[in-house]
Amino acid sequence: MNELERKIIEKIDEMRDEIIRFHQQIVQIPSENPPSKYKEVAKFTKNIMKEIGLETIIKRNNVVGTYGNSHQHEKERALIFYGHYDTVEAFKGWTKDPFGGEVIDGKIYGRGSSDDKSSVTAEIFATKALLELGVDLKGKLTLTAVGDEETGGLRGVEYLLNSGALSGNVCLLGDAPCDYAFGHTGGTIYATITIKGKQAHGLAAPDLPAPYRNEQSGINTIERMVKIMNYLIELNKEFLKKETKYPIPDEFTTRVSHINLAEIHGGNKITTVPDKCYLHFSLNTIPEKDIKSIREAFLKFIDQLKAKDPDLDIMVQMPIQMEPFVIDGKSEFAQAVKKAVKSVYTEEKEFQLFMPSTDAHWFQEKGIETILVGASRYDNNWHSADEFVYIEDLMNVTKLYALTALNYLK
């Protein structure tokens, strides 16, 4: 570690109380998705970005703050820092105030304290440390604090990239576990299956084959959805046969592709044939599997069902489809991140695989090299009651942001 790196780490350590106070404040602003009311948290975030000296805009409540040449030449380096401030709902079962930002035993509690307001706090104070130390950054550094990640990112990062409000060569995306940098990401499909049928009395007009039915007979959507679910369950069994070769942190267990049957709705009365059924599921794949072939096989299965059952009225929607992504780790950006990791954790660490879906794919699809870091730990209760972040992990990811910017924009 050189002298400037040491000064940056010391500066961030000196800012510890300020970082904690800010993080408490941003956690205290509800930004659940749904209902996706982001104006207050966006305004709060924009104000602090302006205070530290960034050129700041808000687009659809997404905050973009820029330092350096906002109209850089394409050959100049442009680094994007990413964090999302939207959260899942608070849900029930908390023993703490979900919007209290309470500090207990080295932890900050509250919805979004880990996922993912920790990254918003970290990127802001990493930049503040660099600017207050007068570090000479070459090129452009852009900070983003976005919404709608928890529902796919279409009105967040996807909108910013496609509208031209956000651009860069590389992205350090803060939405991942701590202690490592993640260069490999899994593939994802979010799907909704809708089947429409015909309501009828469950006994007098059952959904049965000829000769046990007539024009009054029902068309049972749940019975048909079971066939879809059985296909997905069998596919999960097939997935168990292939483990990924890419490393994952020890505390994580997901080394295989997996389908989560997440939500199902159908029917309204025990004596009535259900005329509608909805199934929502997510699929996450290891890098060794590709989304395209899985999707094509599934749609072929649906076509086969239709051919056998002329009464099958089915619609398949897949609004989110992300292919896996793997880096070779040899680029200048990858080496800049790897050097930052070594400085923070005092040891060499190889890039890990992160299976859950994030906004990383929006950057990757634009050809923007993306590496993930974060402050989340397996016991942080993200997406459940009593979510918290360890202050030490929050400090470390702040240092990772700062040192990556130093290494890449030196």
Asked whether the predicted pLDDT for residue 206 surpasses 80, the reply is no
Rounded distance, CA 243 to CA 258, Å?
A: 11
pLDDT in tens, 86-98: 999 999 999 999 9
Q: Domains for the chain: give ranges and CATH numbers.
A: 3-185+325-408 (3.40.630.10), 187-322 (3.30.70.360)
| pLDDT over 70, % of the chain | 98
What is the structure's pLDDT at 250?
84
Asked whether the predicted pLDDT for residue 153 surpasses 70, the reply is yes
pLDDT in tens, 116-152: 999 999 999 999 999 999 999 999 999 999 999 999 8
Q: What is the mean pLDDT of residues 271-288?
A: 96
Rounded distance, CA 370 to CA 364, Å?
A: 6
Rounded distance, CA 60 to CA 365, Å?
A: 22
Residues 56 and 49 sit within 8 Å (Cβ to Cβ): yes
Q: 73 falls in which pLDDT band (50, 70, 90)?
A: low
What is the structure's pLDDT at 214?
85
Asked whether the predicted pLDDT for residue 333 surpasses 90, the reply is yes
Asked whether the predicted pLDDT for residue 254 surpasses 90, the reply is no
Q: What is the mean pLDDT of the chain?
A: 95
Q: What is the mean pLDDT of residues 6-23?
A: 98
Q: 207 falls in which pLDDT band (50, 70, 90)?
A: confident
Asked whether the predicted pLDDT for residue 378 surpasses 70, the reply is yes
| Interacting residues of 286 by C-beta distance below 8 A, sequence separation 6+ | 186, 242, 243, 244, 246, 255, 256, 257, 324, 353, 355
Q: 84 falls in which pLDDT band (50, 70, 90)?
A: very high
pLDDT in tens, 1-10: 899 999 999 9
Give DSSP secondary structure letters for 139-192.
SEEEEEEES-GGGTSTTTHHHHHHHTS---SEEEEE-SBSSS-EEEE-EEEEEE
Asked whether the predicted pLDDT for residue 347 surpasses 80, the reply is yes
Q: 343 falls in which pLDDT band (50, 70, 90)?
A: very high
The end-to-end CA distance of the chain, in Å, is 15
Residues 387 and 97 sit within 8 Å (Cβ to Cβ): no
Asked whether the predicted pLDDT for residue 318 surpasses 60, the reply is yes
pLDDT in tens, 217-244: 999 999 999 999 999 999 999 999 999 9
Which has more confidence, 203 or 346? 346
Q: 404 falls in which pLDDT band (50, 70, 90)?
A: very high
Asked whether the predicted pLDDT for residue 71 surpasses 70, the reply is no
Structure tokens at 281: 């599921």
Question: Among 204-208, 334-338, 373-377, which is the least confidently predicted range?
Answer: 204-208
What is the structure's pLDDT at 72?
54
What is the structure's pLDDT at 215?
83
Q: What is the mean pLDDT of residues 43-58?
A: 97
Asked whether the predicted pLDDT for residue 265 surpasses 80, the reply is yes
What is the structure's pLDDT at 74?
58
